[in-house]
Amino acid sequence: MSVHPIESRYGRDEVRAIFEEENRLQRLLDVESALARAHAEVGDIPKGAARVIQEKGSTKHVTVDRVKEIEREINHDLMAMVRAYAEQCGEAGKYIHLGATSSDITDTALALQIRDFVKFLDEDLQKLRDVLLDLAEKHKKTVCIGRTHAQHAVPTTYGLKFAIWADEIQRHIDRIDQCKKRVLVGQMTGAVGTQAALGKHAVRIQNLVMKYLNLTPVRVSNQVIQRDRHAEFLLNIALIGETLNKINTEIRNLQRTEIDEIAEGFKKGKQVGSSTMPHKRNPILCERICGLSRVVRANAFAAMDNIPLWHERDLTNSAPERILIPESCILIDYMLVKTIEILKNLEFKPENIRKNLYMTKGLIMAERIMVELVERGMGRQRAHEVVRRNAMKVYETGKEFLEILKEDKEVRAYMSADELEGLMEPEGYIGTAVEQVERLVRDLKGG
């Protein structure tokens, strides 16, 4: 029976599999096998023994159940794995784990798991970026009201919204790429980092193990790989989560009944929005992603506490990391996949987009009128005051802004009624929004 929702509700099977017990055990065996191979390479153990260890280094031979059985007896999970492995290797088993400490194996195996996961993360981020770029290009001329302080400001475009998000996703792609060199590292340094138990070939052994595993060796370490690396990784994941939170919060706000410009896709026919209100079409996926972002962010904060371990190490990082890293990875992948789904099925409501543009009786064009007055010779501060004064009359009288401007002698001294009417079209006041979108699409698509 499942307990944690990532076992049954949130997460893809192929990503969950990276962190499941059997795959974790396999990665531990991979590291032990690489260590034996390195020892054989430098002449510490017989090559035949290393071959046996490599042949038996599979969960087909060393099972999760047998490791757990031994752990119940000795209360040490890594040593239980070593003993279960040795059972399968006969005489060669005595060479398993030679010169290593538990963290050499577990930390290096964790790097292998993270590397497996990052392939999915890279793919997710690139897909999301491309979906956003497609939306930006498609809607680069879809003019809508821009909002600041949740109030109508001046016109913008949906294309610019999507372009801003796409550029942010690209920064996450860059951050993860930069982070890889710091988190995809392994070690073979022994009890407190001196490599004393590995003997005179210690440095070469570490380098060989990491070469076999395609990881970078740490430059220096104590008993554990330093946890600033893992904290950085989870902080990057949390940053991605907050971007997804931002995107989905905006969609939720724009789906509000009072705004109703776009909406999360709703399956025709049978989808239920509420258990009691049959009319509801709630943005449940967007809300789910926003909620899960809180878990991912909290995990990153907890990872920060794993950095200051006592002396050469203590065990306080171990238990939380068994939760924090798999949970954050599985959830962020799920959140990315669902956000892509939401964006691909996003519903646009052009009639409401246009209705909202004109909701404030033309007030959203106040800045344009001010700028035009300045261009025609009125001082900037005076122009601001003249337009502000007329704008306030809209609130007081309920009249259209254009009507009030036409009645203002100071304004009319600079422009005619026809000119004022021409300046009140929102589509004519989007500045370089289209050009910005086109430039970003070119830059990120390489076209």
CATH, residue 39? 1.10.275.10
User: What kind and span of H or E run contains 13?
Assistant: helix 13-19
Which residues have C-beta within 8 Å of that of residue 217, sequence separation ≥ 6? 185, 186, 187, 188, 206, 207, 209, 210
d(C-alpha 329, C-alpha 18), whole Å:
10
How many separate helices (H) and strands (E) can be counted in the chain? Answer: 18, 6
Tell me, yes or no, whether 329 and 385 share the same domain.
no
How many residues belong to the chain? 447
Tell me, yes or no, whether 190 and 295 share the same domain.
yes
Domain of residue 426, CATH code? 1.10.40.30
Tell me, yes or no, whether 186 and 56 share the same domain.
no
Q: Which pLDDT does position 403 carry in this prediction?
A: 96
If phi over 0 gives left and psi between -120 and 50 gives alpha, with beta otherwise, what is residue 7?
A: alpha
In 10 A of CB 252, how many CB atoms? 18
Q: Select from 307, 329, 353 the last residue of a domain.
A: 353
Q: What is the mean pLDDT of the chain?
A: 95
Tell me, yes or no, whether 329 and 381 share the same domain.
no
Q: With contact defined as beta carbons under 8 Å apart, do 229 and 182 qualify?
A: yes
Domain of residue 181, CATH code? 1.20.200.10
Note down the domain range covering 396.
360-445
Q: Which residue has the higher pLDDT, 97 or 2?
A: 97
pLDDT in tens, 189-245: 999 999 999 999 999 999 999 999 999 999 999 999 999 999 999 999 999 999 999
Q: Select from 353, 383, 410 the last residue of a domain.
A: 353
User: Which residue is catalytic, options 4, 76, 274, 416?
Assistant: 274
Tell me, yes or no, whether 94 and 107 share the same domain.
no
Percent of the chain with pLDDT over 70: 96
Question: SS3 of 113, please?
Answer: helix
Chain Cα centroid distance, residue 96: 38
Tell me, yes or no, whether 290 and 313 share the same domain.
yes
pLDDT band at 21; cut points 50, 70, 90: very high
Q: Which pLDDT does position 3 carry in this prediction?
A: 84
Q: Which of 365, 290, 368 is nearest to 331 (CA)?
A: 290
Tell me, yes or no, whether 74 and 132 share the same domain.
no
pLDDT in tens, 261-288: 999 886 665 665 655 556 657 889 999 9
Token digits for 195? Answer: 């490599």
User: Which residue is catalytic, options 2, 149, 279, 311?
Assistant: 149
Residue 198, Cβ density class (10 Å: 0-12 exposed, 13-18 middle, ≥19 buried):
buried
User: What kind and span of H or E run contains 130?
Assistant: helix 102-138
Per DSSP, what are the bridge partners of residue 217? 186
Work out whether strand 151-157 and strand 185-186 pair parallel, antiparallel, or are unpaired. unpaired
Token digits for 171? Answer: 């920064």
Overall average pLDDT of the 67-95 stretch = 97
pLDDT in tens, 387-403: 999 999 999 999 999 99
Q: With contact defined as beta carbons under 8 Å apart, do 258 and 197 qualify?
A: no
Overall average pLDDT of the 159-166 stretch = 98
Per DSSP, what are the bridge partners of residue 147? 152
Q: Which pLDDT does position 446 carry in this prediction?
A: 74
Tell me, yes or no, whether 292 and 234 share the same domain.
yes
Place of tokens 């025609």: 376
Residue 230 is among the residues annotated as catalytic for this protein? no
d(C-alpha 391, C-alpha 247), whole Å:
32
Buried b (16+ CB within 10 A) or exposed e, 50-64: bebbbebbebeebeb
Tell me, yes or no, whether 323 and 307 share the same domain.
yes
Tell me, yes or no, whether 164 and 285 share the same domain.
yes
Residue 274 is among the residues annotated as catalytic for this protein? yes
Q: Which pLDDT does position 14 carry in this prediction?
A: 97
Chain Cα centroid distance, residue 227: 20
Tell me, yes or no, whether 26 and 161 share the same domain.
no
Tell me, yes or no, whether 265 and 168 share the same domain.
yes
Q: Select from 326, 353, 380 the last residue of a domain.
A: 353
User: What kind and span of H or E run contains 186?
Assistant: strand 185-186
Count of domains in the chain? 3
